[in-house]
Amino acid sequence: MNKFVLRLAPLAAAMALSGCSFIPTYERPAAPVAAQWPGNAPASGKAATDLAWQQFFSDASLRQLIAIAIANNRDLRMAVLNIEQARAQLGLKRADQLPTVNAALAGSRSPTGTGKYVSVDSAGLVITSYELDFFGRVASLKEQALSQYLASQEGSRTAQISLVASVAQAWLGLVADRELLALSKRTLTTREDSLRLTQLRFDHGAASDLDLRQAQSLREAARVTLAQQQRQRALDENALTLLLGQALPEDARAHLSEVSLAQLKLAELPAGAPSDLLTARPDIRQAEAQLIAANANIGAARAAFFPRISLTVGAGSASNALSGLLQGGTWGFTQAPQLLMPLFDAGRNQAGLDAAKSGRDIAVAQYEKAIQSAFREVADALAGRDTLTEQVQAQQAQAVAESARFGLTELRLAHGAASQLDWLDAQRSLFTVEQAVVTTQLAYLQNQVALYKTLGGGVASATP
């Protein structure tokens, strides 16, 4: 048996050095997307991946909120803890490649057949069931754990990039809420003044009952809109509070009354080529790492068809008395190699290999879907940038026209050349267009943030 072990040792070393493995050769699947983005050519400028979020967002208050969210957000914290768990699993698989040495102390007492008992105590070092990884099963499992660890790192980066974008969009929403609230309050004041004037004219017979009811309806509509805006602002602040992991700081709350959407400018970003997303976006890199892990699992499943050789080794002292173990005990060395060759397992190994191959096919589909989803997100953001720019400009021009129309209608009403109905209709149209300007400006800025995120922006400053 000792000769058998001595023969196994150089073979094991040779196999380890040769890197025997049944892991299939990995080939990255072709990206199932077009080679170019649809629509207009992207603008030139600094790539999103080269812009840290501290550079992309110029507002100091927003940068403060993003830093708070990164420190306190629970979803991001869980993603970071997933890295620690994956790192521990990788450590376990790496440890399986090396023997575990234990200190052992044992004692036994057995009858001799003459009415007496013989006691034997032993102490020493023991290596129990160390697998000689001839066919790379343990190494394949280690490679799988390594890929899962790398995937968890990319998952953490994805979570941080998403968090940065979510905080920015929520903050922009609060800025828009403040502007819409101010607009609603101003409109309500105007309509209350109009109602008082109409009531006075009605009391003196200069206005009809229809004019009065229309003025009342517009006043109540403004109250409804104001209540809706107040509720929406509260909901948006609650959403931002959840992202931050704490209440909105008072200085940040005060800053909201000082900033407007029209003042905020974000950098124009080039889209690059669709193939750039493979390395720019951590969620795609995460999907690829999971694919590599599934590929490594096939190697472990294939190795299960081959013999598994384990070795148990012990070295120490034995004595009839515990006190004599380290003095007059007998020193010895034991070896117990074991070879297990699968002969009949009711199809267990084959089922394991089939499951591993199916797992790889699923991982391929998930990887391709991640690429397609990323392509669509960028294409949507680019389409939004092209159309929202024109929409903002058109609605701003419409607001100017409606403001002029309202002023002219008010002047004509004062000289009896326009009806009360014309004046109320102009007032209602102006309010609607002013609201649309704010919401479109918000959509444009949030779309810019979405484009930054979908292009992998902030990945340079995302730390696992």
pLDDT tens column, 55-113: 999 999 999 999 999 999 999 999 989 999 999 998 988 888 888 888 877 777 777 76
pLDDT of residue 42: 61
- pTM as predicted: 0.85
pLDDT of residue 322: 60
Residue with tokens 């009806």: 419
Report pLDDT for 443.
Answer: 96
Please say whether the dihedral angle defined by the alpha carbons of residues 251, 252, 257 and 261, taken in this order, is positive or negative.
positive
Element (H, E) at 329: none
Q: Which long-range contacts (CB under 8 A, 24 or more apart) does 117-120 make?
A: 118/320, 119/320, 119/321, 120/318, 120/319, 120/320
State the pairing for strand pair 330-340/117-132: unpaired
30 backbone dihedrals φ, ψ, rounded to 5°? -65, 145
Q: d(Cα 186, Cα 180) in Å, to the nearest integer?
A: 10
Q: Where in the chain is the domain with CATH 1.20.1600.10?
A: 2-97+134-173+233-306+351-461
Rounded CA-CA distance 334/337 in Å is 10
Three-state DSSP at 266 gives coil
Q: Is the pLDDT of residue 13 over 50?
A: no
Instruction: Give the confidence band of 10 by pLDDT, cuts at 50, 70, 90.
Output: very low
- Per residue in 270-286, pLDDT (tens digit) is 888 888 888 889 999 99
What is the number of other CB atoms lying within 10 angstroms of the CB of residue 327?
9
Listing DSSP states for 5-63 in one string gives: HHHHHHHHHHHHHHT---PPPP-PPPP-S-SS-SSSPPPPS--GGG--HHHH---HHHH
Q: At what angle do helices 348-414 and 282-303 cross, to 10 degrees?
A: 170
Would you tell me how many other CB atoms lie within 10 Å of the CB of residue 426? 22
CATH-assigned architecture of domain 2-97+134-173+233-306+351-461: Up-down Bundle (1.20)
Q: Give me the CATH topology for the region 99-132+309-341.
A: Outer membrane efflux proteins (OEP) (2.20.200)
What confidence tier does 380 reach under pLDDT thresholds 50, 70, 90? very high
Averaged confidence pLDDT in the chain: 86
* Rounded Cα gap, residues 24 and 296, in angstroms: 7
Task: Name which residue leads in pLDDT, 375 or 1.
Answer: 375
Which run of H or E residues covers position 265? none
Helix axes 137-203, 60-72, angle to 10 degrees: 130
Span(s) in the chain for CATH 2.20.200.10 = 99-132+309-341
Element (H, E) at 317: strand 308-319
